[in-house]
Structure 1
Amino acid sequence: MRRRTPLLLVMIILTAIGAAQSSAAQPSASPLPPDVPLRVLDYNVHTGIGADGKLDLARTAAAIAEQRPDVAVLQEVDVHWSERSQFRDQARELADALGMRLFFAPIYDLPPATPGAPRRQFGIAMLSAFPVVHARNHWITRLSTVEPNPVPKPAPGFPEIVVAARGALVHVYGTHLDYRPDPAVRVTQVEEMLRIMGEDRPHARRLLLGDFNAGPDAAELRPLWTRLRDGWTAAGNTGPGFTYPATDPTARIDYVTVSPGMHVGAVTVPDTLASDHRPVSAELAVRRGP
């Protein structure tokens, strides 16, 4: 075997030289396109309970699958939470049904309902068809919905994943902002999200998807629009793009937002009743590179 090794090396070298000469004599192959197509979806899934009030997680999965997302950010996901979702791990079930990678970011993480059972969690599921090279559940100010007499305080539930998408590294953030009419907590949440996203490396490709619980003209969202673009309007849509309630929507509170320089193609609000919200689906193009 040792006597064959030099011959094998010579053959490899000659083959490489021949290939180089052949390519020099012929037009060079087309380089990879500089932009990577990326389909993303934001969806408040309402713990799998549709507009008809019925729990049907298979219906939720089908509504997501119909949009063929590369990345999906899902709000209001139960993991062993309560009877309303049969104590199921909805995050894992949806990821498995869709064949996607999962990072689950609990907003609430409570002791089990019975001794020895899994902990009860509720939060945001980040799903990706691409490898996830980094994931973190950041903390921002929240006003609890499970504590008596809550006061605003830091809590988890602002997840970030970095996906390696065909040669592009993309930071994807998911959020679910406070729902109360008083915007004070949302004002603080927006400030904190921008600070956290600002810690990324310069010129990072960023997406922020979520249920903002505020319309695009709300004063508390104005700081966002200095750093991010609203995907709905960036796509050239002129309609209202209402997302809530699903049956007869009158408000646009669910968003796909992108960093400057990212190409935005079609952005749609699919008509589905699998939740009390409608999803937002976006076709993007992301520059290759770190």
Structure 2
Amino acid sequence: MVAVSAPSAQGSPVQSRDLTVATFNIHHGAGPDDELDLPHIAEVIAGHGMDVVGLQEVDRHWGERSEFVDQARWLGAELDMHVAFGANLDEDPAEAGQPRRQYGTAILSRYPIEASRNVPLPRPEGGEQRGLLEAVVLVRGVPLHFYSTHLQHDSRVERLAQADAINAVLADVEGPTVLVGDLNAEPGTPEIERLATHLADTWPAAGQGQGLTYPAEAPRTRIDYVFADDSVSAVSPDAARVIDTTASDHRPVAVDVTVSGRPGLR
């Protein structure tokens, strides 16, 4: 695994880049009917112009439910995108000699991924292991720190601990930053407010309506988010939308943003 370190170019002028960032819990490639259809996921990503997208519930040789496919690699190849994968569950193969069974998050990017790492998140009540996947994406020369995460679904205690751990990582980051994920908490809850310490929820500034994302067939709650560094010369949200699709049991969220930063050195 490569340690994350952003390229730098001291003294170079700040430049702006327009792109679309997104979050998508893909439910291991299955829709609400639990029928596997990974090409449908690819169609949604391609059809809505997602330049950098954080994925949750991604299988990698996990089991029969996803036909033992490395889903992040398959999507990257199908969409001609760069890939980072973070294994939060890592188990022995069903048969000796086969790849390890892994499950976690991924980042797909139309721009080069210069470095990536997966940071394990705390689980004080013994819940499922979660992680914070980080990638440094070079957007036409400007480095963007992009994060994908999936917080515990059934424990506020764990989500709060995980939010604190994410904040500890973000506190050391300089430059344009985006955090996306299935946070399993509604707006205004303590865990969402805590994550707003370093970043801002883009929906109130750039979206219309309630931004409901789950369940996909008839959404009644907003638990999928795109957060961004909204300080000067960072990430400015221009338009946000929830995509009406049942490719998964969650609807994805896409946000058009302007990223401003100093070009890095490759």
TM-score computed with the length of structure 2 as normaliser: 0.89
1:162 is the counterpart of 2:139: no
Q: Equivalent residue for 1:9?
A: none
Contact 1:135 1:161 in 2 (8 A): yes
Structure with the greater alpha carbon radius of gyration: 1
1:49 is the counterpart of 2:30: yes
Contact 1:212 1:254 in 2 (8 A): yes
Q: Distance in 1 between matches of 2:18 and 2:123?
A: 34
> Structure 2: which amino acid aligns with 1:41?
A
Q: How does 1:1-290 map to 2 (within 5 A)?
A: 34-142=15-123, 151=126, 155=129, 157-180=131-154, 182-201=155-174, 204-235=175-206, 237-261=207-231, 262-289=235-262, 290=264
Residue 226 of structure 1, CA deviation: 2.6
Residue 252 of structure 1, CA deviation: 0.3
Contact 2:224 2:252 in 1 (8 A): yes
| Local SS of the residue matching 1:96 | helix
Bigger RCO (CA 8 Å, 6+ sep): 2
Q: Which runs of 5+ in 2 are unaligned?
A: 1-12
Q: Which runs of 5+ in 1 are unaligned?
A: 1-31, 144-149
String of CA shifts for 1:169-196, please: whole Å, max 9, x gaps: 110011000000x300000000000001
Q: Distance in 1 between matches of 2:87 and 2:250?
A: 20
Residue 216 of structure 1, CA deviation: 1.1
Report percent identity of matched pairs: 41
String of CA shifts for 1:142-170, please: whole Å, max 9, x gaps: 37xxxxxx7259x5621100111013111
Q: Distance in 2 between matches of 1:263 and 1:161?
A: 19
**Residue 285 and residue 229 in structure 1: after superposition, are their counterparts in 2 closer, same or farther (change >3 A)?**
same
Q: Distance in 1 between matches of 2:187 and 2:34?
A: 28
Contact 1:45 1:77 in 2 (8 A): yes
Q: Distance in 1 between matches of 2:123 and 2:49?
A: 32
| Local SS of the residue matching 2:72 | helix
String of CA shifts for 1:67-122, please: whole Å, max 9, x gaps: 11111111001011011111111111111111001111011010001111110000
> Structure 1: which amino acid aligns with 2:126?
V
> Structure 1: which amino acid aligns with 2:22?
L
Q: Distance in 2 between matches of 1:152 and 1:49?
A: 23
Runs of 4+ in 1 over 6 A off after TM superposition: none
From the two aligned structures, give the one with the greater helix fraction. Answer: 1
TM-score computed with the length of structure 1 as normaliser: 0.82
| Local SS of the residue matching 1:226 | coil
| Local SS of the residue matching 2:36 | coil
